[in-house]
Structure 1
């Protein structure tokens, strides 16, 4: 394949002059004869200009900075993406937050990114709109991503059902689930709430399948919500054999309140959470949790974005990352 240096040698000019002619540099002072000679030789040598790939990746998240502080789950996803971008020597554009306080003021700006990685549960219409501005798009943590858009997530519904089957194998039937409602956002950050979180739906299905009375508290996702549920259970003398928290922050709040109520874990009640964030290492006794492989989310998402940047594939992929129960002191299957 001919190079700029080959053209320069044949034309008797510098490689820099060739490059500026081929890039139609209006500030270059060169005679029409020389310009034509360069273009003719370029055609004769069948030179093809190598297009520079735009390797800048932009993260769009529906988690505010405040949300990332109160629930590190979304912060850890963002940091996992940034770590992988750095490892692959790609570049990172400024993170855009569509969180209800901030909104996407100029959606066309995402066209300037080589690829975009979207974190969180945006509505399908919103995802299709974003995809219309940048086809090189990957969505993290949203199983309802349209099939024509790349996505990576874990099947939390299946993980919950498998967990409950392990619980039942211990002849346990008193299981309480504590969680919140699912929130989706549009381009303005306006939330839509719906009580169809896959963990809760799977819990309901399991209860029906085994003819077990449902005992769920759909209260929210924060530590304070977990504390309040334990207060209510103690007040009602309704402490179950096993508590399942929809995320780690709930589990931490529940652990703190159980300790305050002088209820021993796992002797009097067992506890399991979801996500398995690093913050659990500071809780005693150590909490069993369904591990969501956030690092794998980051690696897979950036790899998929890079494939799109380099036109390696045109068919959308959905990657389902296994969620595994990590057994610690608060529950043993």
Structure 2
């Protein structure tokens, strides 16, 4: 393909003039004869104008600001994504928070983005509708994402099963309880439906496979939920597996109110490994879900979509690992 400089040389004008003519600069003062000569020369030399990349990235999340305050996982994930967007010199559009009462016409803005980053458990119907607005979509933290969309997530069901096996190896007689909430699915109008969470499903499956009586407590996902529930349990377990860190922190605080020692009398394990965990007393053992890697992988996929670097969708599975701190001992 001919360059601007080559066209300028053939047409007998400056490269700047060629560039402004080809980009239809309305402020350029040039004769019609010169303009026609430049355009004809460009056509004869098979010049093709390079399309400008749309580097705008739109975040769509089901987490309200209030929810981000109640559970820092959502805030830390969004900030990790924003950091990576800035590092790659992409442009961040205003975040869309899906809340009750949203109207479909509000979704017209997502068509203008170069790529979309969709955070959270949106329904299949919602994801498919977003895809119709803009197919350059990357879904984060939702393993139910259709295979033709890019996605980044961790396998929490497999992680939970492996964690329970690990606990049983070092604590063969321990009574293990599960405390956590339901999985929320959000529509594009902000309406929420509920189904069992992957961690709860894995716990129930594990108990069945090992002929153990389950001790599951379906509550919410907040610190207050964990604290109130553990205070209401008559027969305390030896180990509490909490569905997220905020529930786990609430459990620790509730146990302390009851005068119980953690981990000597009751051990506690959470999920997500938030920054606050190391400052809780005792510090919280937690399954690390690599939020930073979520951000890096998702934004890299979005950049691929912007640059049209690939046609096939990718599903990236981010490994989890247990970060052992003071709230749980792996010794019997």
Contact 1:97 1:103 (8 Å CA) reproduced: no
Q: Provide the secondary structure at the position in 2 that maps to 1:106.
A: helix
1:132 aligned to 2:132?
yes
Higher mean C-alpha displacement, 9-18 vs 306-315: 9-18
2 CA distance for matches of 1:99 and 1:262?
41
Report the equivalent of 1:330: 327
1:20 aligned to 2:17?
no
Residues 33-86 of structure 1, C-alpha deviation per residue, up to 9 Å, x if partnerless? 222211121122222211111111111100001100110111111000011111
- Cα 1:246–1:101, aligned 2, differ >3 Å: closer, same or farther? farther
Report the equivalent of 1:193: 194
Contact 1:98 1:104 (8 Å CA) reproduced: no
1 CA distance for matches of 2:206 and 2:18?
70
2 CA distance for matches of 1:103 and 1:185?
14
1 CA distance for matches of 2:87 and 2:51?
23
1:255 aligned to 2:256?
no
In the alignment, structure 2 segments of 5+ residues that lack a partner are none
In the alignment, structure 1 segments of 5+ residues that lack a partner are none
Q: TM-score, normalised by structure 1?
A: 0.95
Residues 130-164 of structure 1, C-alpha deviation per residue, up to 9 Å, x if partnerless? 11111111000000011110000000101110111
Report the equivalent of 2:232: 232
1:44 aligned to 2:44?
yes
Contact 1:179 1:218 (8 Å CA) reproduced: yes
Report the equivalent of 1:297: 294
**Deviation at residue 25 of structure 1 after TM alignment:** 4.3
2 CA distance for matches of 1:100 and 1:297?
27
2 CA distance for matches of 1:143 and 1:103?
27
**Deviation at residue 185 of structure 1 after TM alignment:** 0.7
Counterparts of residues 78-93 of structure 1 (less than 5 Å): 78-93=78-93
1 CA distance for matches of 2:105 and 2:225?
34
Aligned length: 329
Report the equivalent of 1:283: 280
Counterparts of residues 42-81 of structure 1 (less than 5 Å): 42-81=42-81
Report the equivalent of 1:183: 184
Contact 1:80 1:298 (8 Å CA) reproduced: yes
Match of 2:308 among 305, 308, 311: 311
Contact 2:124 2:144 (8 Å CA) reproduced: yes
1:246 aligned to 2:260?
no
**Deviation at residue 210 of structure 1 after TM alignment:** 0.5
**Deviation at residue 103 of structure 1 after TM alignment:** 5.9
Higher mean C-alpha displacement, 97-106 vs 322-331: 97-106
**Deviation at residue 256 of structure 1 after TM alignment:** 0.9
User: How much is the aligned-residue C-alpha RMSD, in angstroms?
Assistant: 1.5
**Deviation at residue 324 of structure 1 after TM alignment:** 0.7
Q: TM-score, normalised by structure 2?
A: 0.95
**Deviation at residue 111 of structure 1 after TM alignment:** 1.2
Report the equivalent of 1:31: 31
**Deviation at residue 8 of structure 1 after TM alignment:** 2.1
Contact 2:263 2:329 (8 Å CA) reproduced: no
Higher mean C-alpha displacement, 163-172 vs 214-223: 163-172
**Deviation at residue 323 of structure 1 after TM alignment:** 1.1
1:271 aligned to 2:272?
no
Residues 166-219 of structure 1, C-alpha deviation per residue, up to 9 Å, x if partnerless? 11112034111000011111111111112x200000000000001100111101
Higher mean C-alpha displacement, 288-297 vs 3-12: 3-12
**Deviation at residue 280 of structure 1 after TM alignment:** 0.8
